[in-house]
Structure 1
Amino acid sequence: MTNIDIFTQLPSLNGGPLYLKLKKRIEDAISTGALKHGDALPSERDIADAAMISRVTVRKAIDHLVDDGLLVRRHGSGTFVFKPMPRMQQPLTRLTSFSEDMERRGMVGGSRWLERALCFPTPEETMALGLSGNARVARIRRLRTANDMPIALERTSLADDLLPNPEAIENSLYAYLGQFGIRPVRANQRISAVVLRDDETELLGVPQGSAALSVQRIAYLETGRVMEISRALYRSDAYDLVAELTIAR
């Protein structure tokens, strides 16, 4: 069944205004998986033609579903399915990789690579990583997924002697570096709330203007050397960061 086939039997449904029938049909398609997160809806004209209803009716149904958070409009791109992620708690007392976090939850972590390259470092990277004048930086940027659902945007920078071939990483950076005995033992993290840019909302499949949790990390090797600097943007509708506090005695 194609996306447009979902709307062809609409006139045969009994009772209620047509826009509510269409709204219910789309809700059912999302709940059954006929429409998946990130799927594009056909155009309003195509839906109207298939369902034999007016475009005004189609727009009213879609407006209600956008208000309910099940659909999201992207300017110049169309209307897309937005299926909320179940919320996850991330403890701040444990230094783990994203892949390890997902495995611990019984979920399959994945990556969509956006950048994997050796680059000339920025002044920030040079200072934070302690690079010499002619050193390069291994820079990786990826969209992280949980059970194929986009959940975070992550950018990481390392000195090129620690990661001379960024394209050799398949999924987990920490697992790859661990093969060579390179493993962080501690990290400092700074967490803040940010509003996502339009290109970031499109990658994460969330409405424009959505908020995210920005987690900036500096991880250290046992020698005290900085292993990596990273910034991750986590969907705020899916992640809770949890810290355990104790009273000083």
Structure 2
Amino acid sequence: MNLMSKTALIKQQLIQMISEGTYRVGERLPSEPEMSKTLGVSRETFRDAVKQMELEGRLLVKHGVGTFVIQPLPGIPSSLDRLSSTGEMIRSAGLEEGESRISLQKLESSREVAQKLGIKTGDPVMMLERIRTADGEPVAVTINYFHPQRVGDLFERFDFSGSLLEFLELHLSIRIVKSDTEITVPLHVDRNCQKLLIHPATTVLLFKQLHYDEEHQAIFYSTDYMRNDVFTFQIRRTRN
């Protein structure tokens, strides 16, 4: 059973009240004590829900004035501040996800991989390489290197298919929640880049990503080549 926290429940109630017109865009909410009493929760719980909705751009808190309902900004497709799997991005574009090749092997870690994972150069790592397709065309090459102690013999015990993030969560209870990402433009002579250059207008971006679990432990490092004529990435910048 998926039990929601009190804060999440109050946030959900507030969103529903706004969508039903109880509180309209531009309107100020009643005071914190009044709202806490109306919703039957502590002021701290109500305050936490308001903070979350403020971060999401649903409420505007003007200190000394009040809390106002505002119109949320439209969502950004493939936003760079959201961690999404390649499969999710393919499906969100309305395309049919597939794989044309998969390679799984144990090898000695390079200096770059070892440095990212916090192990010694030459330590064995499991490498998973896939060519991802959309409507039958190759659109991404994803190469993942796994921390030997944190993933262990996972790929020897279970057959892998589908979503890597779901696979780790299902079999190891490892939930990937964030990544550090460097975006570069690979040279056209890069062998992985060449696997995606199937049209004259094709361009490729390279994402070097270190993925962390909820305890901020590095679980795997990936080099993901993405066709930029298929995927577009955006970020919303804010001014303090």
TM-score scaled by structure 1? 0.57
Residue 223 of structure 1: how far off its partner (Å):
1.4
Counterpart in 2 of 1:61? none
Report the counterpart of residue 109 of structure 1 in structure 2. Answer: 97
For these two proteins, the number of residue pairs brought into alignment is 161
Unaligned runs of 5+ in 1: 1-87
> CA-atom RMSD, angstroms?
2.7
Q: Which runs of 5+ in 2 are unaligned?
A: 1-75
Task: Give the Cα–Cα distance (whole angstroms) in 2 for the partners of residues 145 and 191 of structure 1.
Answer: 21
Mapping of residues 151-230 of structure 1, within 5 Å: 151-161=139-149, 162=151, 164-166=153-155, 168-179=159-170, 180-197=172-189, 199-200=191-192, 203-207=195-199, 211-230=203-222
CA distance in 1, matches of 2:127, 2:97: 20
1:93 to 67, 81, 84: 81
Q: Using the alignment, how far apart are the partners of 1:163 and 1:174 within structure 2?
A: 16
Match of 2:110 in 1: 122
Pick 1 or 2: higher relative contact order, CA cutoff 8 A, min separation 6. 1
> Partner letter of residue 115 of structure 1?
S
After TM superposition, give the deviation of residue 160 of structure 1 in Å.
2.8
Superposed, 1:42-81 pairs within 5 Å as none
Match of 2:15 in 1: none
- After the TM superposition, which parts of structure 1 deviate over 4 Å for at least 4 consecutive aligned residues? 132-135, 207-210
Partner SS state of residue 91, structure 1: coil
Percent identity between matched residues is: 21
Q: How far does residue 210 in structure 1 lie from its aligned partner after superposition?
A: 5.1
Q: Is the 8 A contact 2:130 2:143 kept in 1?
A: yes
Answering whether residue 138 of structure 2 is matched by residue 150 of structure 1, we say yes
**Cα distance, 1:151 vs structure 2:** 0.6
Counterpart position of 1:238: 230
TM-score by length of 2: 0.59
**Maintained 8 Å contact 1:98/1:109:** no
- Partner amino acid, structure 2, of 1:174: L
